[in-house]
Amino acid sequence: MFTMIRNLTLAHKIWITISLAIIGTIFFSYILSNYFYEKYYVENVRKTLQEEGSQLATNYNGGEITDQLIDQINWYNQMSEPEVLLITNPRELSACLPFDIDYESYIDEEDRERLLRGEHISKIGYEQKMGHQILGVIIPLLDGNRLEGIVYLYTPLANITDMINDITNLWIPVAILFVILSILLGRKIITTLIKPLKQLEQAAQHMSMGNYTERVEITTNDEIGKLAQAFNDMACAIAKEDERKKEFLANVSHELRTPISYVKGYSEAIVDGVVKKQEDIQRYLKLIHREAARMQRLVHDLLDLSKLESSVYNLTKVPLVFSQLIEESLAIYEPILLESEISLNMMLDPEIIIYADEDRIEQIIHNLIDNAIHYTEKGGNISVQLKKAKNNQCELIISDTGIGMDEKHLNQLGERFYRINKARTRKDGGTGLGLAIVKQIVVAHNGNISFYSKVGEGTQVHIAFQVLTN
């Protein structure tokens, strides 16, 4: 059963749901009609008979039932719609009725006790000759503690089926027309609702086969339209990520191709005996060692970046005196700066404390200083400034007087393998992963990084971190 339902199409499920809803509505209407019939119609008739009987009973003042009272009730019987009988011997009620009904119409002992207490009694039964149910009400005529007689009022109840039959001739054609219109209109509505879902299904199948250009037409602003929009956004994101993956693989292949070719060529020259002089062999071995180190750095940076981009990487955060960490990190650059004839200026606020991973923050400083030294010519200047900023933050600014760059490149700094010089020569820069690693470390510390640069005037890197407060 469940397997069959699961294999149905959405259109079939909607039709089944609508059909069950219609059947349920009809059944509920039937139950509700009977309830109101019993609750309001029958109760209203019973109340009316009781009021009429009680009014007639007020003409009885005790003692024997007089001919005058009998004449009054007979006259009322002729004038009123319900039948009214005055019975002086309640035990002979069934013999006084002009027809037989399918219940014990005489007054039994229990009824007699109720009548003696002044209560009204009502009974319902079916009368064959009339073809209707009969509602009867018995009103006692009491003389003290003695039951002298009863006023019996009865009337046929209208059958609810009769009322339905009166409108059947009109209802059937209208119902048939309604069903036809429902089929035609319902089919159109369901087709309209299902169409974008079918498009989604087809587009998802195409995407599963590697076609990420598929898009779904958005025709509505409802939930299905929002689903289609979400699907298109997802498709764009996947397509972009696929392009990034392809670009990443191409970049890795490009970066590895040169050192691998060098290592292979130099090693073959040594193995094949092409290079025989000892000094040439040593030079070739140094080149092999340099290229192997280059591949090692590339693989290390890739692994580092992969860890930082994953959500499972855990930082070991501790309170750090930021200025002290900066000074210790820059100490190793003194010989390089002297050799490059580049001056270094530091303006550091010693009171700034941050909660961060010491090794990763030191990695940020090294990568940025390496870039600054690489792109700054002899006689240039590098400035490192640490100061307090707004919103309980601190700002680290590393600026140089290097060659700078065009502003169009600033938004792409920090992307994997992005380099300004597309020639990708080792002279112009490294693998393009250093700033990507810096950006990921800053993000992992809930910080912000921004770049400012002009061609020929140098570059500034601004990094903001939250300051640790007491």
At residue 323, the pLDDT reads: 93
Residues 342, 378: Cα–Cα separation, whole Å: 6
What are the helix and strand counts (H, E) for the chain? 14, 11
Which part of the chain has CATH 3.30.450.20? 10-165
Contact 54, 67 (CB under 8 A): no
Assigned token pair, 357: 């991973």
Q: Which amino acid is at 154?
A: Y
- C-alpha 392/C-alpha 467 separation (Å) is 6
Residues 6+ apart with CB under 8 A from 467: 352, 353, 354, 388, 392, 393, 394
CATH superfamily, region 10-165: PAS domain (3.30.450.20)
Residue-level pLDDT, tens digit, the chain, 470 residues: 556 656 666 666 776 777 677 666 766 766 776 676 666 777 888 888 888 888 888 888 888 888 888 888 888 888 888 888 888 776 655 544 544 444 444 567 787 888 888 888 888 776 665 566 788 888 888 888 888 888 888 888 765 456 555 555 665 676 667 667 766 776 777 777 777 777 887 888 888 787 877 787 777 777 777 888 888 888 888 887 777 777 667 767 766 777 788 788 888 888 887 777 888 788 888 888 877 877 777 777 677 767 666 665 677 889 999 999 999 999 888 888 888 889 999 999 999 999 999 988 998 898 899 889 988 888 899 999 999 988 899 999 999 998 888 777 677 675 666 665 554 444 444 556 778 888 888 888 899 999 888 888 888 999 999 998 76
What CA–CA distance (Å, rounded) separates 433 from 437?
A: 6
Domain 314-466 CATH class label: alpha beta
DSSP state letter for 425: -
Minimal CA–CA distance to 47: which of 142, 163, 135?
A: 135
Q: Which pTM was predicted?
A: 0.48
Burial of 145 (0-12, 13-18, 19+ CB in 10 A): exposed
Given the structure tokens 């600026």, which residue do they identify? 399
Q: What CA dihedral angle connects 190, 195, 197 and 199, to 10 degrees?
A: 170
User: Boundaries of CATH 3.30.565.10 in the chain?
Assistant: 314-466
Which amino acid is residue 413, in one-letter code?
Answer: L
User: What pLDDT score was predicted for residue 93?
Assistant: 55
Structure tokens at 126: 């079916």
Q: Which DSSP state fits 390?
A: T
Residue 237's closest CA among 259, 256, 258, 215? 215
- How many residues make up the chain in this entry? 470
Q: Are 298 and 255 in contact (CB under 8 A)?
A: yes
Cα distances from 92 to residues 114, 265, 351, in angstroms, run 17, 131, 114
- HEC assignment per residue over the chain: CHHHHHHCCHHHHHHHHHHHHHHHHHHHHHHHHHHHHHHHHHHHHHHHHHHHHHHHHCCCCCCCCCHHHHHHHHHHHHHCCCEEEEECCHHHHHHHCCCCECCCCCCCHHHHHHHHCCCCEEEEEEECCCCEEEEEEEEEEEECCEEEEEEEEEEEECCHHHHHHHCHHHHHHHHHHHHHHHHHHHHHHHHHHHHHHHHHHHHHHHHHCCCCCCCCCCCCCCHHHHHHHHHHHHHHHHHHHHHHHHHHHHHHHHHHHHHHHHHHHHHHHHHCCCCCCHHHHHHHHHHHHHHHHHHHHHHHHHHHHHHHHCCCCCCCEEEEEHHHHHHHHHHHHHHHHHHHCCEEEEEECCCCEEEEEHHHHHHHHHHHHHHHHHHCCCCCEEEEEEEEECCCEEEEEEEECCCCCCHHHHHHCCCCCCCCCCCCCCCCCCCCCHHHHHHHHHHHCCCEEEEEEECCCEEEEEEEEEECCC
393, 468 Cβ separation under 8 angstroms: no
Which pLDDT score is estimated for 319?
A: 93
Q: Are 402 and 371 in contact (CB under 8 A)?
A: no
Tokens, residue 279: 């000094």
